[in-house]
Amino acid sequence: MAKKTTLAIVIALLTFFLIVPFLSYRSFKSAIKKEIFNHLITARDLLKHEIWNYFNNRYGDIDVLSRNPVIAKGFTRLSGAFNAYGLDNPQFLEIKSIYQPLMEYYIADYGYSNIFFIDKDGSVIYSALSEDFSGTDLFVGKFKEHRIALMFKQALKDVSFGDYSWNDKVNDYTTYFAAPVFESESLMGVIVIELPFAHLDTILTQRAGMGKTGEEYLVGEDGLMRSNSRFSTKPTILKQEVDTEATREAFDGYVGTKIIKDYRGVSVLSAYTPLNLNFINWALLVEIDEAEAFAPIYDVEIKLKIIASVISTITIGYIYFTYRAYKKKEEEEHNIIESEEQPVS
């Protein structure tokens, strides 16, 4: 009876030491998962705020410029000179030289790629840096389908935003903000600022605390990236297609977190949100590979499996050898009893 009791105690203790680590592991795994998602959420919300500030400030820039009396006066004088003399005439160039330093200041101080004045009749009457469409008519000329022509037509009514596209002149992707310019309530035309993608790229490539596989990226409503992937040596803006569960939910207006397959087909922890800017319909995603995020969990899991194997082996071995010893002793006792019961001849 004592041996059976001892055996039962040993089995109970070994079972206890086997179960407790696994229960602790489940709590540890849950805590790690929560901590990582909280980190992604914080990174996502901070980045969203930074992108908001960037685009809203540029929206504010063009709105302020379009209301500046100096700009309105410049439109009047440049338009008159352009219509009278054309772009290359000395009289026009003299008036342009008055406003050129101010425009160059804006370009240098704010990091614009270019600034344009477009007359209400569609003529590009001023470009701080020479462009192929300078002096052309955006209503009927060969550039009438150019994206700046589309921006101009929209901006005749209100402040407008034009998505990114490649610009050979600056060797970068650029985008436009445009706004109507009035003088004494009379529409003069549209002022356009061109912005390099490098500004946004700098914001999105701040990966401190994101580990080896963490990345933050934007996806447009056309399903193409508006950023560069850290996993590609070539630009992915407007090239890499992204159609994941996270982007679909973000475009449906949901903010959330999930473990999904990303655009590479890799399992990642994803924190996503729509950008929620009136003039931009993009999704923002902050992600990290599941393999990296859960590396501490996998390490503990391996150790627990080793511990479980060792404990199981010890338990089975102990039970086996204890049982053998018990059976052997039982057989010996049985043989002794049999030998004592045999009649003496």
Whether 181 and 209 map to the same domain: the answer is: no
- What are the tens digits of pLDDT across the range 173-185? 999 999 999 988 8
How does DSSP classify residue 277?
A: B
Q: How confident is the model at residue 103 (pLDDT cuts 50, 70, 90)?
A: very high
- What are the tens digits of pLDDT across the range 199-215? 999 999 887 778 899 99
Whether 151 and 80 map to the same domain: the answer is: yes
Whether 138 and 112 map to the same domain: the answer is: yes
Whether 191 and 237 map to the same domain: the answer is: no
**CATH number of the domain within which 153 lies:** 3.30.450.20
Whether 139 and 191 map to the same domain: the answer is: yes
For residue 293, what pLDDT is reported?
86
Q: Is the pLDDT of residue 301 over 80?
A: no
Q: Pick the residue with more confidence: 130 or 300?
A: 130
Whether 188 and 103 map to the same domain: the answer is: yes
Whether 185 and 209 map to the same domain: the answer is: no
Looking at residues 230-239, what average pLDDT do you find?
94
Report in angstroms the alpha-carbon separations of 112 from 105, 116, 129, 130, 198: 10, 11, 11, 14, 11
Burial class (CB in 10 A: 0-12, 13-18, 19+), 78: buried
Boundary of a domain, candidates 165, 196, 227: 196
In 3D space, the residue among 318, 218, 315 whose CA is nearest the CA of residue 276 turns out to be 218
- What are the tens digits of pLDDT across the range 4-32? 555 555 555 555 555 655 555 566 677 77
The verdict on residue 13 lying in a domain is: no
Please, which residues bridge with residue 235 across strands?
none
Number of domains in the chain: 2
For residue 259, what pLDDT is reported?
95
For residue 12, what pLDDT is reported?
56
Whether 267 and 163 map to the same domain: the answer is: no
Whether 77 and 171 map to the same domain: the answer is: yes
Element (H, E) at 285: strand 282-289
For residue 226, what pLDDT is reported?
96
Looking at residues 88-100, what average pLDDT do you find?
92
Whether 94 and 128 map to the same domain: the answer is: yes
CB atoms within 10 A of CB 297: 18
Distance between CA atoms of residues 152 and 180, nearest Å = 9
| Mean model confidence pLDDT for the chain | 85
For residue 237, what pLDDT is reported?
96
For residue 130, what pLDDT is reported?
83
Q: Is the pLDDT of residue 249 over 80?
A: yes
Contact 21, 304 (CB under 8 A): yes
The verdict on residue 148 lying in a domain is: yes
The verdict on residue 342 lying in a domain is: no
For residue 344, what pLDDT is reported?
53
Residue percentage of the chain with pLDDT more than 70: 79
Whether 130 and 230 map to the same domain: the answer is: no
Burial string for 125-164 (b: 16+ CB within 10 Å, else e) reads bbbbbebebebbbbeebebbebbbbbbbbbbbeebbbbbb
Q: Is the pLDDT of residue 276 over 80?
A: yes
For residue 32, what pLDDT is reported?
79
Nearest-5° Cα angle at 269, 267 to 271: 135
N residues, the chain: 345
The verdict on residue 2 lying in a domain is: no
Q: How confident is the model at residue 340 (pLDDT cuts 50, 70, 90)?
A: low
SS3 at position 262 = coil
Q: Is the dihedral of CA 248, 206, 168, 111 positive or negative?
A: positive
Q: Is the pLDDT of residue 125 over 90?
A: yes
Q: What are phi and psi of 169, to 5 degrees?
A: -60, -40
For residue 59, what pLDDT is reported?
93
Whether 191 and 216 map to the same domain: the answer is: no
For residue 211, what pLDDT is reported?
87
The verdict on residue 17 lying in a domain is: no
For residue 137, what pLDDT is reported?
92
Looking at residues 128-155, what average pLDDT do you find?
89
The verdict on residue 135 lying in a domain is: yes
Q: Pick the residue with more confidence: 2 or 261?
A: 261
Distance between CA atoms of residues 191 and 74, nearest Å = 11
The verdict on residue 332 lying in a domain is: no
- What are the tens digits of pLDDT across the range 31-79? 778 889 999 999 999 999 999 999 999 999 999 999 999 999 999 999 9
Residue range of the domain that includes 215? 29-54+205-295
Q: Residue 62 is encoded by which pair of tokens?
A: 């063009």
For residue 119, what pLDDT is reported?
94
Boundary of a domain, candidates 179, 196, 213: 196
Looking at residues 304-312, what average pLDDT do you find?
64
Q: Residue 247 is encoded by which pair of tokens?
A: 């982007």
Q: Pick the residue with more confidence: 171 or 190?
A: 190
For residue 1, what pLDDT is reported?
53
In 3D space, the residue among 3, 15, 4, 2 whose CA is nearest the CA of residue 315 turns out to be 15
The verdict on residue 327 lying in a domain is: no
Boundary of a domain, candidates 171, 196, 221: 196
